[in-house]
């Protein structure tokens, strides 16, 4: 049997691709799940600093669960130890310096955010075959017989149906040659970038909360929208801190010299938390397509005549659970039970 022999190809193994793959697979449909990275998860990611071995959840920080389909999936992940509740002191930090509790049920991957996607991938039905380190560089062929050119130069297909489960600009560039109208609709969705400041600080020092949403974020003196003691999550080593810049600030500073960004963010971190952020303890990561500014709210796109679907947070709402639900709903529209 050839390596790529399924009826449907899903490109992207983030939460959206995993949500679609699980439902299509459960209906007995054969799926090739093609992912450019070495493992699943996409923006729900973990970064390891090689010099120290310390891991940070540098992308999605937690997952909320409102949808019944995702609640069932999360129950399975909790049972199998791939997720845990994050029962931390999480606040909204007001501009006057006061901190208001922000109590919502939040879940994290175990032992890191990447563990959650790993748990979802491990539970995929046997009819779904994941292919990691398998980037797609172009779509060829035609409706009913789509061919995928892979980044190693080989070709996969033909596929009856395609699902693009990736951020909109990446999807638009793959669609442009064969389906230009769909590409321009998808390409019009704007994603904000994000700078992530990652810090390793001495244990024991805390600003009185574990994580904070920052009110009034985005101005020059208030760049962060979120600061968290990564070490307050279950299964993590204490002392790791993650701070994310707000969309407005990130857009204005997307082209800046990383060294200057680092300097400004370290100063802002100290101003907000009262904790020193030495340069030797700091790393910076840039997310070019972090969060959708104005998601479509249609839930997904399904172009039935061409057999091409799209899903992701940008089709529904700005959070991880929306990505999963988007994939799950798309699979339903494609006929999965
Ligand atoms: C900094 C940051 C903080 C966040 N914080 C939160 C939070 O606290 N709570 C929350 O709910 N959400 C948060 N989010 C959002 C959440 O991470 C996303 O909504 C969710 O992970 C999106 O999933 P997705 O499957 O739609 O896309 P992605 O996770 O982007 O997955 C797309 C996948 O497609 C793959 N891919 C792309 N192009 C190709 C190609 N050509 N070939 C093969 N594979 C390809 C990528 O490698 C990736 O794995 C955050 C995101 C970021 C970046």
CATH 3.90.660.10 fits 50-114+191-292, yes or no: yes
Q: Which atom of ligand 1 is nearest to the CA of 326?
A: 26
What does the pLDDT read at residue 149? 98
Angle, CA of 77, 165 and 336, to the nearest 5°: 70
CATH architecture of residue range(s) 8-38+132-189+296-333: 3-Layer(bba) Sandwich (3.50)
Which residue in the block uniquely carries the two structure tokens 């006057």?
96
**pTM strictly above 0.75:** yes
CA atoms within 13 A on the CB side of 173: 6
From 166, 243, 326, the mutation candidate for ligand 1 (largest count of ligand atoms within 8 A of CB) is 166
Closest atom of ligand 1 relative to the 323 alpha carbon: 26
pLDDT tens series, the chain, 337 aa: 457 777 999 999 999 999 999 999 999 999 999 999 999 999 999 999 988 889 999 999 999 999 998 999 999 999 999 999 999 999 999 999 899 999 899 999 999 999 999 999 999 999 999 999 999 999 999 999 999 999 999 999 999 999 999 999 999 999 999 999 999 999 999 999 999 999 999 887 789 999 999 999 999 999 999 999 999 999 998 899 999 999 999 999 999 999 999 999 999 999 999 999 999 999 999 999 999 999 998 999 999 999 999 999 999 999 999 999 999 999 999 998 9
Compute, in angstroms, the gap from residue 199 CA to the centroid of ligand 1.
Answer: 22
d(CA 7, CA 26): 14
Q: Which candidate, 310, 314, 331, 332, places its Cα nearest to that of 323?
A: 314
pLDDT given at position 66: 94
pLDDT in the model for residue 1: 42
Cα of 292 from ligand 1 centre, angstroms = 10
Span from the CA of 14 to the centroid of ligand 1 (angstroms): 6
Report, in this order, helix, strand and coil percent for the chain, each rounded to 5: 30, 30, 45
Q: Cα–Cα distance between 62 and 236 in angstroms, integer?
A: 14
> For the chain, what are the domain ranges?
8-38+132-189+296-333, 50-114+191-292
pLDDT attached to residue 70: 93
- The residue whose CA has the least distance to atom 5 of ligand 1 is 60
What SS3 class is residue 4?
coil
Q: Where are the beta strands (DSSP E) in 8-106?
A: 8-11, 31-34, 47-48, 55-56, 83-85, 90-93, 99-101
Identify whether the C-beta of residue 44 lies closer than 8 Å to the C-beta of residue 114: yes
- Is 303's C-beta closer than 6 angstroms to any atom of ligand 1? no
Atom of ligand 1 nearest to the CA of 34: 43
Q: What spacing in Å lies between the alpha carbon of 105 and ligand 1's midpoint?
A: 21
Determine the atom of ligand 1 nearest the C-alpha atom of 41.
49
* C-alpha 43 to ligand 1 mean position (Å): 3
């Amino acid at each position: 049997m050839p390596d790529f022999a399924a009826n449907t190809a899903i490109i992207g193994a983030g939460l959206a691709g995993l949500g679609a793959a699980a439902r299509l697979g459960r209906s007995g449909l054969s799926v090739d799940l093609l992912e450019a990275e070495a493992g699943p998860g996409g923006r729900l990611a973990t970064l390891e600093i090689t010099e120290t071995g310390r891991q940070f959840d540098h992308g999605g920080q937690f997952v909320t669960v409102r949808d019944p389909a995702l609640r069932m999936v999360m129950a399975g992940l909790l049972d199998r130890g791939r997720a845990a509740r994050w029962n931390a002191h999480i606040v909204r930090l007001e501009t006057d310096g006061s901190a208001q509790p922000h109590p919502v049920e939040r879940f994290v991957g175990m032992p890191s955010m990447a563990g959650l996607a790993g748990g979802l991938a491990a539970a995929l039905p046997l009819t779904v075959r994941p292919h990691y380190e398998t980037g797609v560089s172009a779509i060829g062929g035609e409706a009913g017989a789509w061919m995928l050119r892979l980044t190693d130069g080989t070709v996969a297909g033909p596929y009856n149906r395609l699902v693009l489960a990736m951020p909109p600009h990446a999807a638009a560039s793959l669609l442009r040659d064969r389906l230009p109208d769909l590409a321009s609709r998808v390409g019009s969705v704007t994603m904000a970038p994000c700078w992530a400041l990652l810090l390793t600080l001495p244990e024991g020092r805390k600003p009185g909360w574990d994580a904070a949403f920052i009110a009034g974020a985005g101005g020059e003196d208030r760049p962060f929208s979120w600061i968290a003691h990564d070490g307050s999550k279950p299964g993590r080593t204490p002392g790791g801190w993650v701070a994310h810049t707000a969309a407005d600030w990130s857009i204005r500073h997307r082209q800046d010299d990383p060294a200057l960004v680092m300097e400004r963010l370290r100063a802002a971190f100290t101003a907000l938390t009262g904790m020193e952020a030495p340069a030797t303890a700091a790393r910076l990561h840039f997310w070019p397509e972090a969060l959708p500014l104005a998601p479509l709210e249609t839930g997904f796109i399904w172009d039935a005549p061409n057999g091409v679907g799209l899903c992701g947070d940008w089709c529904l709402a700005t959070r991880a659970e929306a990505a999963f639900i988007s994939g799950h709903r798309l699979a339903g529209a494609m006929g999965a039970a």
